[in-house]
Structure 1
Amino acid sequence: MDEFRGRVINQDDVEIFRGHLSQYEMHQLGILYEHFRDDLVYIIESVDTLSILRELSFREIVSVQHYVSLKKECGATVFAEMLVEDILSLGRDAVLGFWESLYVLQNDHPHPNLLGVLDEIIQRGETLEQHILLDHHGHDLPEELTACQMEHKQYLLEKTQSLEELRVPGSSQKPQSFHISERYLDLIVASGHQFRERTQHEVIETGGKHEHYLQKAHSNLERIAPNRLFRWCHRLRCIPHAVIVSGVPGVGKTTLMQKFVYDWLAGKLYQRFAFVFFFKFRTLNTKEAVSLQKIILDEYPHLRKNLSEILQDPQKLLFIFDGLDESAHQIEFQSTELCVSPHSLNRLDVIVVSLVRQSLLKGCSVLMTSRPTRLASIDTKVFPRVCEIMGFFPKQREMYFQHFFGNQVISNKAFHYVRENGVLYTFCYIPSYCWIICTVLSMCFKDNDQSVQLLPKTVTQLFVIYVTNILSNHSQDSGHAKELLTSVGWMAEHGVMSHYLEFEEQDLATFHVNNSSKLLSSFMVESAQSHGVIYSFFHLTIQEFLAALVHYLDFSAERLKEAFEKAQSFEDGRGEIFIRFISGLSDMSTRSQLKPYFGDLSSEASKHVIALLNDMSSSVTSHEDDGVDKRKTLNVYACLSESRNKALVSETIGKNTIFDLSEFHLAPLDCTVLSFILESFKEVELLDLDACFIQTEGLERLAPTLHKIKDLSLSQNNMRDEDLRIIYSTLTHPDCKIHKLSLRENGLTEESCTTLAWAIKENKTLRDLDLSKNKLAGEYFYQLLMVLSDPTCKIERLGLMEIKLTPDYAPSLHHLTGNTNLTHLNLSYNFLSDTSFSYIRDLILNSLRLKEIRLGTNDFSEEVVAKLRSLQTQRPAVNIEL
């Protein structure tokens, strides 16, 4: 994208582009339009609405007011869909004008999807239509291969057409199967260029990044729909032959691949591929010396007769490999050990790398999935396109709840509860977490008032309820449950510490796990392999929870300390959730729900965990100067939040209630955690959140505690006018303690001035207010000035630097003399001119308590600057900065 950013499109460029499109007939323009429809909707959703409407209005295509009203009424997505549809219905000139408008728009809005679409149209020229039609209709195959293809598609259809909804573990309920088109929800796939070493648990980090994308005012997130995975890559100016899709555990990588294959079978995408071969690395692990031909025939024996002919046209083939992170082979994509023949025997890793590197079946395409942690350790440059599944955005989350509960009232109730709970809502971007959360809430929202009291507030409580539900569905005595979960827990802990996700029968024997127990099947799933049975937990987080729980079931101070310290030492952050569970279980009320099944869990373990948390907190809270330390500090806060132990928070943080998290990206989840920490204090000296990108959702999560802050700084957070409702509720809180507030350099306009005026009028504590570097000039700014000029206004320091003030505002600025408390005023970097002099002079001379006024970088002449300086002799107590 960088090669496009900053490029200035002039009128000659526009004429060339229009000429390029004008060569197409209307039916050809229609083909292009339909091909890019999803992109166009997303682009219109993402860029500034008025910018695109003004360009269209300039070309006399649409009315700005009509579509502005439509967006307010229907929302961004419906507005974008209707605009795209309406343009097409208006005919050829409108379609050409629309493309021309988008072309001009890249000057100010270089959105990656917009740049990609325009580049594909320009670079691919006449061949683009041919490729579009090929993807729609496919190749003409010989009769024998057509019959073979039909048989292959039927085989894959049986494998991919159904989605199975997990049964509630421990219950007699049978799994339900649904057609994939009924239950599949679109997952957001975003482009990504590199995978660095991670400093956070991948689930937490991706959740934070995910919410950050949601909050960006003009998102630079490039969305890659499944039908765009093998389309033009504008960064490299090519059609990618190899694509890798990353995603955290449970986010839907395998389901996305299943839907991809199903849509190919249904003729919805990529008919350029005559044959698709779908493999899972997990099932390929036992293969040693093998050929590509044998790999294919082992999975697809019906191709034996025609395989040689199929492999003769590699450009018609797509190989899908799911789960690179589950491969037992060390796959190095920069390896020079390659093969060229599909018939020669080689190691599996050599065959996979050779397909990606194009030494084997040159022209074929490869699609692969992996967890981010695996990609962080390999060189992915060989893949022209690297993507990451971001999971569910809010609309998909809500739809998932509706599908799960099937009852509108209950699904709305459950979703509202989760939406209000910052921790649970963050984790809802992962489909498997959605299932766990919905499963737990389905128990809590019964017609039983007691169950509502058990609603989870933390992730630890969520998994406690999940486990208790499994145990309640089993008739075994508590002794059996404790014995089994102790042995399973130690095996799970060994896996977390050693990074094992799969266990063999030998592992079960080592940890004395009874694999004949029905209870075991509620936590682990069996997978038959050629060399034996492989066991894995339903979800990585279940493994992490049981690994933490075992330290309370079978307490050993030495083992607990060793596990805690080892989990802290992982630089990729994979021990974070384990530590959070350990911390969460230290809360007696959280543990008590497990008492009917295990008896009293170790209170000694709880005491040791609290001591370890105290030590961990002391080691990081005194070092908050750089990003790494701030991340560690927030991880400690997250553990304290899980523990629900406000006394521990006060003890570990002490009386130094200064929280400086400036210039560190705070995800909404971080804000939820920080809010709990702030709750633990009656009063907080300083909260510095400058340049933290918190924006609306983060502010909402902090809102209940902001009134406790004496010095609150929210500069450079791209806040919008609608965010001022939170500032209003904070300043008008009956116990508000805010003395100093900075809203400097945000996205506030004159629309926020009325809300600010009412808040200041009702507030009793505010003395220092900085509104600099916002676009406040406008009609409503006079309302704010009126309040700031009132004799009852308590504000002493006022920052109005660079807020677009012109000479028209000078008479009203003079009214600030009415504020008898004003001591410091900053009016620098505005557009005040010589005509403002008399008003500014009177302001300086008549503001009796004024100590400093800043007027530098306005439009004063040298003569007026000299006059202003001369006022210093009349008011020597006032420092006049020019």
Structure 2
Amino acid sequence: MEPICKKMKYDESMNQPLDFNESMGPGDSHEVLKTFRLNLMKRFQCLHEGIAKQGNPTLLNEIYTELYITESESGEISNEHEVRQIETQSRRAATEDTPIKCSDIFRALPGQDKPIRTVLTKGVAGIGKTVSVQKFILDWAEGKENQDVQLIFPLPFREINLMKDKTLSLSDLLHFFFPETKEMDIFSDEYEVLFIFDGLDECRLSLDFQSNVRLCDVSESASVDVLLTNLIVGNLLPSALIWITSRPAAADLVPSDRVHRVTEVRGFNDPQKEEYFRKRISDQSLADRIISHLKSSRSLFIMCHIPVFCWISAAVLEKMLSRAESGEIPKTLTQMYTHFLLLQTNIKHEKDYEKKVTDEDMILKLGKVAFQQLVKGNVIFYEEDLRECGIDVTEASVYSGLCSQIFREELGLYQGKVFCFVHLSIQEHLAALYVHLSYKNNRSQFLYDMSSELSEFFTYNLSDVHQKAVDKAIQSKNGHLDLFLRFLLGLSVKNNQILLQRLMNQPRSSSDSSEKIVEYIKMKIRATQFPEKSINLFHCLNELGDHSLVEKIQQYLKSGTIKEVKLSSSQWSAVAFVLLTSEKNLDEFRLKEFVGAENKADHILQKLVPVIKESRRSNLCKCGVTDEGCAALASVLRSNSSQLRELHLSDNELGDFGVMRLSSGLEIPDCKLEILRLSGCGLADEGCAALASALRSNPEHLRELDLAENILGDSGVEYLSSGLKNPHLKLEILSDWQNLQAFKTHMQGWTGTKIKPCKNPVNLV
């Protein structure tokens, strides 16, 4: 069989504009191919940017802002809430990643020679995955990019879901979605074909990649899920290219050994955020004011990594900053989203139909869908999902027409109806608003409507609801209630309640409600055993307008006196929050800046685990770190989201036990540490044995190991040598001049690793 993807080698001719009068295929298929391209061009040339397909859409090429896309090391699943992932990505320096243009995702980078058939592109909701797909297809249809591909078949999972009960062949499936191809042999060897499956996280098919059902014939009928799995693994059309997009939480639904490249859409970096607003807002002085305001609120500017949030912010701030407004300009997420909801209901009032639909009734019903489907983890809804919430399809269609920028109805190629909120964060905001309003209006009826699974969330009054929601969010393993909690608490604040009164007649909460939940959150911050969990709680305090903990820490950091002050547990959590939300990239974490008579190294490391995970280099030299601190560091090394690449621990009395604890993290394949310095750390036999075991288990990443000024002894050197002889080891430099001769003796005759006769360091190349 010919090599897969030989056609994807870079060729300048691929980027020449297409002449539609030039032959694009054999025989009579030319006109069909021309029609096929033109149909895709018409379908993908407009960007609806959260707006249903009506009115005057914007041409994609007029507003498109290049997204920051990187090649990722793997398609590992991420269980963090997507807002936390955005906050993490906002701190990464661009130099840490390998950028890749959307149009080049099937082309090998310099130094890569393996063929690329299947690409998985991951990214959080609203980050631009679907727009990237749209731009890729449009550029191809217009003859600008990837002209060695003759056919592109975009098959979004939300449309394929509607065919989950069908039995048909791959040929039938494609003829159904793309009827113009019936006139040509689309499976001919003369055509290079690309399948695009957008939205793996929305898939409701049972994708069983372990199934023994093997299909090789495009005319053989099977269930749609069997067709897809056989196409993705290469049993059907092995030479076809496959592109799959997914939110990170579903990235592992396709086995990693079936994916040849993983890319990640990071959304907008800081310059791209500004470029977006300057393109989106025609008045450049207004665009400048909007950018300035967003930069003044760190939490809002971080969220602008998500293009959909930029669109929401532009819609709200363009209205508010271009005219005299009595209300406060939004500074928190809850304020921004509540203003956005107000904006959409005002648009609804301008429409001439369905006057009988009240704001309150519509919001409560949409909120019920949002809440119940959020708990279930659904972001797209079909007729059966709506019926469960007491809404029929006709009613849902009315809502999508009245609030097209909140709730969207899509009519796919299969002619089935699919509903969704424009973005997950809008769903979370409406879910929180539903809970808030339901308790205000009729708590007993609300509890009656709830299933037993959901009713455990609630108790008797709003203050108790808030506390229960805090508990539920902390208990959640993947943080899926974090943003919902921020919105729910933010809605209890006075200025947001004033906004709600403009939507509907709502009594305000008593002032002590916010005070009670603030104290409850601070208690939870003090009590939490997991520093990462406190990050969202500080965001909650920000929504509630309480900045007392953070402001005190900012004073200590600014004055440089933080090492002289004995900090409480909650204050250390505030330190982590301040560092993680700082404008500065966490390129290096220096422990010495915090260690003092009142603050011991091990305790600090335990409290600042989230910070160390996000730093690329951690300098902990001469700080009094012991084995207890090594246990905290091992948890960092075990994390698949850790950015730590250099760990400097020289001149700490770690001893064998400390190095053994550290090695328990080094040996995990997820550990990507490249440089480890353990000079003068009291390392001996047992520590060397643990290090050797780690080098055997995870030989791919560590490049430099400094063991100078440790009396390893002959047995310690023997242990380490057994690890150094791993033929897969990538270690290049071993610094240890005291034990140089012993290493040369034990490594004698081993050709897999060469020890150069230099004093410092020992080079292993």
| 2:91 maps to which of 205, 212, 231 | 212
CA distance in 2 between counterparts of 1:715 and 1:419 reads 28
3-state DSSP class of the match of 2:244? strand
CA distance in 1 between counterparts of 2:357 and 2:104 reads 54
Matched, 1:527 2:410: yes
Partner of residue 660, structure 1 = 572
Q: In the TM superposition, what is the alpha-carbon distance from 1:571 to its structure 2 partner?
A: 1.3
| 1:395 maps to which of 254, 262, 271 | 271
3-state DSSP class of the match of 1:483? helix
Q: Which amino acid aligns with 2:88?
A: K
3-state DSSP class of the match of 1:440? helix
Q: In the TM superposition, what is the alpha-carbon distance from 1:491 to its structure 2 partner?
A: 2.2
Matched, 1:302 2:180: yes
Partner of residue 422, structure 2 = 538
Deviates most, 521-530 or 381-390: 521-530
CA distance in 1 between counterparts of 2:390 and 2:469 reads 20
Contact 1:246/1:389, CA 8 A, preserved across alignment: yes
Contact 1:315/1:364, CA 8 A, preserved across alignment: no
Partner of residue 194, structure 1 = 74
Q: In the TM superposition, what is the alpha-carbon distance from 1:636 to its structure 2 partner?
A: 1.4
CA distance in 2 between counterparts of 1:715 and 1:485 reads 48
Q: CA deviation digits over 1:281-328, x for unaligned, max 9?
A: 11111222121111111121111121xx33021871111111111121
Partner of residue 546, structure 2 = 645
Contact 2:152/2:195, CA 8 A, preserved across alignment: yes
- CA change 1:487–1:155 in 2 (3 A) is closer
Number of paired residues? 563
Partner of residue 486, structure 1 = 364
Contact 2:123/2:264, CA 8 A, preserved across alignment: yes
The percent of aligned pairs where both chains have the same amino acid is 23
| 1:360 maps to which of 217, 236, 240 | 236
Unaligned runs of 5+ in 1: 1-123, 675-684, 699-713, 719-745, 747-771, 773-828, 830-882
CA distance in 1 between counterparts of 2:515 and 2:338 reads 19
Q: Normalization by structure 1: what TM-score? A: 0.57
Q: In the TM superposition, what is the alpha-carbon distance from 1:537 to its structure 2 partner?
A: 1.2
Partner of residue 554, structure 1 = 438
- CA change 1:230–1:665 in 2 (3 A) is farther
Matched, 1:669 2:581: yes
- CA change 1:660–1:165 in 2 (3 A) is closer
Deviates most, 341-350 or 196-205: 196-205
Partner of residue 734, structure 2 = none
| 1:571 maps to which of 477, 483, 504 | 477
Matched, 1:157 2:33: no
Q: Which amino acid aligns with 1:461?
A: Q
Partner of residue 875, structure 1 = none
- CA change 1:396–1:136 in 2 (3 A) is closer
- CA change 1:645–1:140 in 2 (3 A) is closer
Q: Which amino acid aligns with 2:375?
A: M
CA distance in 2 between counterparts of 1:312 and 1:532 reads 31
Contact 2:36/2:181, CA 8 A, preserved across alignment: yes
**1:846-861 map, 5 Å:** none
Q: In the TM superposition, what is the alpha-carbon distance from 1:648 to its structure 2 partner?
A: 9.4
Please, what is the CA RMSD of the aligned residues?
A: 4.5
3-state DSSP class of the match of 2:48? strand
| 2:284 maps to which of 408, 416, 425 | 408
- CA change 1:618–1:151 in 2 (3 A) is same
| 1:293 maps to which of 146, 171, 175 | 171
Partner of residue 176, structure 1 = 56
- Greater relative contact order (Cα < 8 A, sep 6+): 2
Q: Which amino acid aligns with 1:554?
A: S
CA distance in 2 between counterparts of 1:132 and 1:479 reads 57
CA distance in 2 between counterparts of 1:661 and 1:655 reads 10
| 2:487 maps to which of 581, 589, 593 | 581
Matched, 1:135 2:19: no
CA distance in 2 between counterparts of 1:470 and 1:198 reads 33
State which structure, 1 or 2, has the greater radius of gyration over its C-alpha atoms: 1
CA distance in 2 between counterparts of 1:232 and 1:312 reads 25
CA distance in 1 between counterparts of 2:110 and 2:91 reads 24
Partner of residue 376, structure 2 = 498
| 1:372 maps to which of 222, 233, 248 | 248
| 1:251 maps to which of 121, 127, 132 | 127
Q: CA deviation digits over 1:839-864, x for unaligned, max 9?
A: xxxxxxxxxxxxxxxxxxxxxxxxxx
Partner of residue 457, structure 1 = 331
CA distance in 2 between counterparts of 1:646 and 1:457 reads 13
Q: Which amino acid aligns with 1:135?
A: M
CA distance in 1 between counterparts of 2:319 and 2:575 reads 42
Matched, 1:417 2:293: yes
Q: In the TM superposition, what is the alpha-carbon distance from 1:522 to its structure 2 partner?
A: 5.2
Partner of residue 736, structure 1 = none
Q: In the TM superposition, what is the alpha-carbon distance from 1:263 to its structure 2 partner?
A: 1.3
Q: In the TM superposition, what is the alpha-carbon distance from 1:586 to its structure 2 partner?
A: 2.5
Contact 1:567/1:574, CA 8 A, preserved across alignment: yes
Contact 1:553/1:602, CA 8 A, preserved across alignment: no
Q: In the TM superposition, what is the alpha-carbon distance from 1:331 to its structure 2 partner?
A: 1.7
Contact 2:29/2:183, CA 8 A, preserved across alignment: no
- CA change 1:407–1:688 in 2 (3 A) is farther
Partner of residue 316, structure 1 = 192
Q: In the TM superposition, what is the alpha-carbon distance from 1:420 to its structure 2 partner?
A: 2.1
CA distance in 2 between counterparts of 1:717 and 1:243 reads 39
Q: Which amino acid aligns with 2:431?
A: A
**1:594-633 map, 5 Å:** 594-601=500-507, 603=509, 611=516, 614-623=519-528, 629-633=530-534
CA distance in 2 between counterparts of 1:610 and 1:526 reads 41
- CA change 1:444–1:328 in 2 (3 A) is same
Q: Which amino acid aligns with 2:476?
A: F
- CA change 1:566–1:338 in 2 (3 A) is farther
Matched, 1:276 2:148: no
Q: In the TM superposition, what is the alpha-carbon distance from 1:165 to its structure 2 partner?
A: 4.7
CA distance in 1 between counterparts of 2:405 and 2:36 reads 35
Contact 1:662/1:691, CA 8 A, preserved across alignment: no
**1:425-440 map, 5 Å:** 425-440=301-316
Unaligned runs of 5+ in 2: 444-457, 553-565, 587-597, 622-645, 652-707, 709-765
Deviates most, 330-339 or 271-280: 330-339
CA distance in 1 between counterparts of 2:281 and 2:178 reads 38
Q: Normalization by structure 2: what TM-score? A: 0.65
Deviates most, 527-536 or 399-408: 527-536
Q: CA deviation digits over 1:664-717, x for unaligned, max 9?
A: 798753779x9xxxxxxxxxx97969988989x99xxxxxxxxxxxxxxx9849
CA distance in 1 between counterparts of 2:546 and 2:249 reads 32
CA distance in 1 between counterparts of 2:155 and 2:608 reads 45
Contact 2:526/2:570, CA 8 A, preserved across alignment: no
CA distance in 1 between counterparts of 2:567 and 2:341 reads 39
Q: In the TM superposition, what is the alpha-carbon distance from 1:336 to its structure 2 partner?
A: 3.7
Deviates most, 686-695 or 471-480: 686-695
Contact 2:531/2:609, CA 8 A, preserved across alignment: no
CA distance in 2 between counterparts of 1:133 and 1:445 reads 47
- CA change 1:603–1:243 in 2 (3 A) is same
3-state DSSP class of the match of 1:462? helix
CA distance in 1 between counterparts of 2:257 and 2:264 reads 15
Q: In the TM superposition, what is the alpha-carbon distance from 1:361 to its structure 2 partner?
A: 1.0
Q: CA deviation digits over 1:569-596, x for unaligned, max 9?
A: 3312111100111121222223222223
Q: Which amino acid aligns with 2:342?
A: T
Q: Which amino acid aligns with 1:271?
A: Q
Q: CA deviation digits over 1:220-259, x for unaligned, max 9?
A: x011212321112678741210111111111111111111
